[in-house]
A and B are shown apart, each in its own frame.
Chain A
Amino acid sequence: MSLLKTPTLPNDSRPGDNSIAAFDVERVREDFPILKREVYGRPLVYLDNGASAQKPRQVIDAMTRVMEESYSNVHRGVHRLSQEATDLFEGARERVAAFVNAGSPDEIIFTRGATEAINMLAACFASQVQPGDEIIISEMEHHSNIVPWQFLRDRSGIVLKAVPIDDDGNFDMDAYRGLLSPRTKLVAVTHISNALGSITPLKQIIQEAHAAGAQVMVDGCQALPHMRVDVRELDADYYAFSSHKMYGPTGIGALYGKKDLLNRLPPYQGGGDMIATVTLEKSTFKAAPHRFEAGTPAIIEAVGFGAAVDYLNSIGMNAIAAHEEGLLAYATRKLEAIEGLQIIGKAKEKAGIISFVLEGAHAHDIGTIVDRSGVALRAGHHCAQPVMDRFGLSATARVSFGLYNTPAEVDVLAEALQTVRDFFG
């Protein structure tokens, strides 16, 4: 075992390029111990991947291994273990950087998750705005990509505007163009809506923002586990994501940022590891990413994050995307055949997420009833209340697919929804 080897991906094996020819879902399921368990005596059908995804043995083992063999604090010790832990930690950063095709590992800041990544950017971005400047979000953002900008608005006197979506859940490009102006400093937009599955026309959004002189931050939480993302090809200025939705552990995520932009931002939190020098009067700070990583980081979680990225690469993002596309198509047909069921969100470009309502049955009641068939789905507003408001709903039921889901599981879901109809139909 070569724990000290710094893992880097060769340039010619970017995510998605090494897809296995045939995606063997039963083989993949073997990697996830939890999929063997039962719920109320039924096999678990886990369809809540948009909230958090299950963990493969490879991630669990990598985290166990670092604790059993190499654990120590990072960037501090002169001893062997500290070197090993530091190499593993920074190795994880390199893997994550390669996964999104960042220009350098220095462009990956580890955070507690995507929420902290966006909050960090919003806090630091205060230095970049004047009262009257504008930030544009969209109507289908997760609360994590709304509230931090409201905080910034309330502190900095900026104006926050939201791009509407149409009845199918498509990002309204024309309205977006109407909102862009020389006052726009930042566009903060999701890559894939967690509530609707809509994939935003990101490349175009970014091009037009740049043409207007604005920067763009992307909430990539729902995209990275499901499709190949290349931040440089997109030309995103910032891209936030979290490990736990990518089959990695909780408690860690990242903010990608272009190096020169990151180094223009002031530090976020002060404390150990972000400083260059400290006197009682004055301190100086390191460059990104360390400038934004005060305190002892989530070392074990970072190792798990790196292992999750390796795992996704080993299967291939193109294979995963194709598998989930198949599931989406199958489930859409199957669910639409259920009387009284209406799918909310039918964007032209859509990921493996289906939000729906069932006549006469509230989402919560749906969730409780299908749970008894072993089906885990999400019921509620999905931390995207403005989306619910847009469709005049307080809640939907949502299934979100992961790489281990199968058409047979969709059948179990459909059958469980018939039970709901038996109660409420």
Chain B
Amino acid sequence: MLDELRELYQEVILDHGKNPRNLRRIGDANHHAQGNNPMCGDTLSVYLLTNGQNLIEDVSFIGKGCAISMASASMMTEILKGKTVEEAETLFHGFHDLCTKDDADLSEAEATDADAVERLQVLSGVRTFPVRVKCATLAWHTMDAALKGDAEISTE
């Protein structure tokens, strides 16, 4: 019982959950979206500042939620800073598969940033907790919506 829980709540997640990085609003963000998880009422805003070369110069988030959703958002902001929009999308798809598929093909995401994929593996414990997948992916869905120009998304 505890083993699976420890797998889900690894130290890294607890740390990011308690001390989320980039928890702030970017004043001159040119992409922003709000994500909702209607099941639990969590809302999370993601802010991105991209430049003319489609490079993500800054990324942050504001929100309150469970350890999984906070850790996921926090790690995402760390990973995406300095990536291009295309790379962010590739990592999003890789992460999504990581959280939902046992035999996910992560080659594309790994080609983009193998180190990031390895770090994100700590969240893959949600695969054994299907109701928690939305917690892990909310920030990424919201980031994706922000880049695509959708103001609001829901994980339903």
Contacts and interface: CB of A to CB of B under 8 A. Distances in A.
Band of interface residues on A: 20 to 34
A151 interface: no
B93 interface: no
A419 to B, nearest CB: 7
B36 to A, nearest CB: 11
A276 to B, nearest CB: 42
A381 B43 CA distance: 12
Interface in A316-375: 360-365, 368-369, 372-373
Contacts of B131: 368
Contacts of B40: 363-364, 379-381, 394-395
B67 A362 contact: yes
Contacts of A360: 18
Interface in A389-425: 394-395, 419, 423-424
A309 interface: no
Contacts of A419: 2, 5
B41 A394 contact: yes
Nearest to B67: A365
Interface string B39-56: 111110000000000000
A394 B1 contact: no
B119 interface: no
A38 B143 CA distance: 40
Given A379-B40, A380-B40, A372 B5 contact: yes
Given A365-B9, A394-B64, A423 B14 contact: yes
Given A40-B1, A360-B18, A362-B65, A368 B41 contact: no
A376 to B, nearest CB: 12
Contacts of A40: 1
Contact of A365 (B2, B43, B64, B68): B68
B135 interface: yes
A369 B41 contact: no
A73 interface: no
A301 to B, nearest CB: 26
A388 B41 contact: yes
Interface-central residue, A385, A394, A424, by most chain B CB under 10 Å: A394
Interface string A67-100: 0000000000000000000000000000000000
A131 interface: no
A424 B132 CA distance: 17
Given A40-B1, A41-B1, A380-B40, 12 more contacts: A360-B18, A361-B67, A363-B40, A364-B66, A364-B69, A368-B8, A373-B1, A379-B40, A381-B41, A394-B41, A394-B43, A424-B67
12 contacts: A364-B40, A364-B66, A364-B69, A364-B135, A365-B9, A365-B68, A368-B129, A369-B9, A372-B5, A388-B41, A394-B40, A394-B64
List the 4 shortest-distance A-B pairs measured between CB atoms, nearest first: A362-B66, A381-B41, A364-B66, A380-B40
